[in-house]
Structure 1
Amino acid sequence: MSTTRSKRSTDSGLSVHRSPVALTSLVVGAAFILVGVMGFIPGITTNYGDMAGAGHHSSAMLLGIFQVSVLHNLLHLALGVLGVLASRATAAARMFLLVGGVAYLGLWIYGMVVPETSSANFVPLNTADDWLHLVLGLGMVLLGLVMPRRQSNATAATYAGPTAGGDIQ
């Protein structure tokens, strides 16, 4: 007789746990939402009154380091929402991390070849943004590749008791 394991509690109908890759997507998504919100907070964003809608003319700086605009902040918020939504399914969470990471690597290359004062620098991006995009891109791709799709039996037992879990895949 075979048994199947459900990701839902039979008593409450609520999710017992998320896979490690889904939890990672949730955390990364929440971090992007936080960064997007912080970009709209004066004080956390210096030169807030000089924030442009888009383009390299914005002199607003998140944490005094990263050049931001309204568009830049909205992109962070949108990416964050995608990460949170993707965390609801293991395959979507992995795809979010991989595709998002590749996109950030592309953005790093774009930032390296497009001059900061060019009209093509529409997001806007500065040197600090460029190097952060490299780290984010590599980190997201790496997490998307190495995070397991399921919890081990031992890890699941820690969260939901000895009958929960599954094998690492």
Structure 2
Amino acid sequence: MTATPVQTAATIVGVVFLAVGVLGFIPGITSDFDTMEFAGHESEAMLLGIFQVSILHNIVHLLFGLAGLALARSAAGARNYLIWGGAIYALLWLYGLVVDEQSDANFVPLNNADDWLHFVLAAGMILLGLLLSRTPRPGKAA
């Protein structure tokens, strides 16, 4: 069976999330690795020296990647993964904008770079899910 474009996109997004999750646990790729906390804004570990991460943050990336690979097995699952996953990232973006970075509410943790990456992920995933799962109208060429 040939994968649809939306399935291919969900697979790629899932693989990227898995890679990011793994990279977050590699010293050198993650700077200040020795300061990594399980959760909370106290973690000073920075993936690629830019994105604040914690053990929980990396686990979330790994789980998001596994979900993408599992749901990419069907076109409907891939579409749902991209759209609803994008919606989750939109909420995470909004959360990151309103929560004080030094507050205990910043449990993931998130910094400004994370916030804007979450916005790009939200927009990209939702657009991929909507655009790649469109079906041509009857009588129209594909």
1:28 is displaced (CA, Å) by 0.2
1:100 is displaced (CA, Å) by 0.3
- Between Structure 1 and Structure 2, the one with more helix by share is 2
Residue identity in the other structure for 1:36: G
1:141 is displaced (CA, Å) by 0.4
Match of 1:90 in 2: 75
Match of 1:14 in 2: none
1:94 is displaced (CA, Å) by 0.1
The two structures have a TM-score, normalised by structure 1, of 0.79
The answer (yes or no) to whether the contact 2:79–2:133 under 8 Å persists in 1 is no
Larger of the two Rg values belongs to structure: 1
Match of 1:153 in 2: none
* Stretches of structure 2 lacking an aligned partner (at least 5 in a row): 136-140
Q: Tell me, in whole angstroms, the C-alpha distance in 2 between the residues paired with 1:87 and 1:43.
A: 32
1:149 is displaced (CA, Å) by 6.1
| Aligned counterparts, 1:9-158, within 5 A | 17-148=2-133
The answer (yes or no) to whether the contact 2:41–2:102 under 8 Å persists in 1 is yes
The answer (yes or no) to whether the contact 1:19–1:149 under 8 Å persists in 2 is no
Match of 2:138 in 1: none
The two structures have a TM-score, normalised by structure 2, of 0.94
Aligned alpha-carbon RMSD (Å): 1.2
Q: Tell me, in whole angstroms, the C-alpha distance in 2 between the residues paired with 1:140 and 1:148.
A: 12
Residue identity in the other structure for 1:127: N
Q: Tell me, in whole angstroms, the C-alpha distance in 2 between the residues paired with 1:104 and 1:77.
A: 15
Matched position secondary structure for 2:124: helix
1:19 is displaced (CA, Å) by 0.5
Q: How many residues align?
A: 137
1:123 is displaced (CA, Å) by 0.2
The answer (yes or no) to whether the contact 2:75–2:133 under 8 Å persists in 1 is no
Q: Tell me, in whole angstroms, the C-alpha distance in 2 between the residues paired with 1:87 and 1:132.
A: 23
The answer (yes or no) to whether the contact 1:38–1:62 under 8 Å persists in 2 is yes
1:148 is displaced (CA, Å) by 3.5
